[in-house]
Amino acid sequence: MKKSDAAEFMKRLAARTPAPVTELEFKNSYTLLVAVVLSAQATDAGVNKATKKLFAATDTPKKMVALGEAGLKKHIRTIGLYNTKAKNIIALSRMLIERHDSQVPGERAQLEALPGVGRKTAGVVLNTVFGQPTIAVDTHVFRVANRSGLARGKTPDQVENKLYKAVPEEFLQHAHHWLILFGRYVCKARSPDCPACVVRELCAFKEKTTTATVATAIDGAKR
C-alpha cells in the first residue's frame, strides 16, 4: 500500500473511533497485565467474565500470590490453557514482588522477562498503561494488515515492523486499538463486512463481500 493510502487508511479508522480503548476490563496496571496474559487464545468477553470476581478481591501481586495457583484456577477455568496461565500468573506476580516492588515495569525487556509475557502482551501494556506508541500484533491486527495490504508479512514480527513504517507517526499511539476494533467488528475472519467498511476502496482484498453475502453469513450463524 502506498504511503498516501496508508495515511488515509488510518485517518478513516481514527474518524470511525476517535477515542479507542481496550475492551479488557481492569482496575490498574497489574490487573491489565493479568488480563492480557489471560487473553491469549481467548476472547476479551470471556476474560472479562472470568476476571470480574477475581479482580474485585485480587488486584495486586501480593494478593494473587496469597490466592495461590489452585485458587486462581477456580476463577479462570473457563479460559483456554488456564492451567499454564495460572502457573505463569503466580510466577510473574512473585517476580514483580521480588524484583519490581510489586509494580509493573515500563520497559519492554523487563516485561518480557516475566513468565507468560511475550512481545504482544508487553506491547499492549506499554501502550495502554504507559502511553508508548507500540503496536501489538494479535490475530485481528495480523489479519487486517495482511488482507488490506497495509502491512503484509508471514509472522507477527514482520507485520509489526512493516506497520511501524506504514503508519504515520500521528496515528501510532492508537493504531493498535484501531486495527483490533476494526478487525473484530468489521474486517472479521470469516465474513468481513465490506459494505460497512470505511476503507474498502483502499483495501487490496479481492474477494470483497456484498450486502447479500454478509446477510447470508449472518443467517447461517443464527441457525
CATH class of 29-128: mainly alpha
Residues in the chain: 223
Catalytic option among 87, 120, 154, 157: 120
pTM, 2 dp:
0.89
pLDDT in tens, 68-91: 999 999 999 999 999 999 999 999
Listed in order, the ranges of the chain carrying CATH 1.10.340.30 are 29-128
Domain 3-18+135-222: assigned CATH number: 1.10.1670.10
pLDDT in tens, 113-164: 999 999 999 999 999 999 999 999 999 999 999 999 999 999 999 999 999 9
Mean pLDDT for 177-187 is 96
Q: How far apart (Å, rounded) are the C-alpha atoms in residues 31 and 98?
A: 18
Among this protein's residues, is 44 annotated catalytic? no
Among this protein's residues, is 206 annotated catalytic? no
For residue 210, what pLDDT is reported? 85
Catalytic option among 138, 157, 162, 219: 138
- Chain-wide mean pLDDT for the chain? 93
Listed in order, the ranges of the chain carrying CATH 1.10.1670.10 are 3-18+135-222
For residue 152, what pLDDT is reported? 97
CA dist list (Å): 150 to 2, 4, 42, 144, 145: 8, 11, 25, 8, 5
Q: Which of 75, 78, 74 is nearest to 31 (CA)?
A: 75
* Residue corresponding to grid cell 499454564: 84
For residue 216, what pLDDT is reported? 45
Mean pLDDT for 151-179 is 97
Sign, Cα dihedral of 87, 103, 33, 144: negative
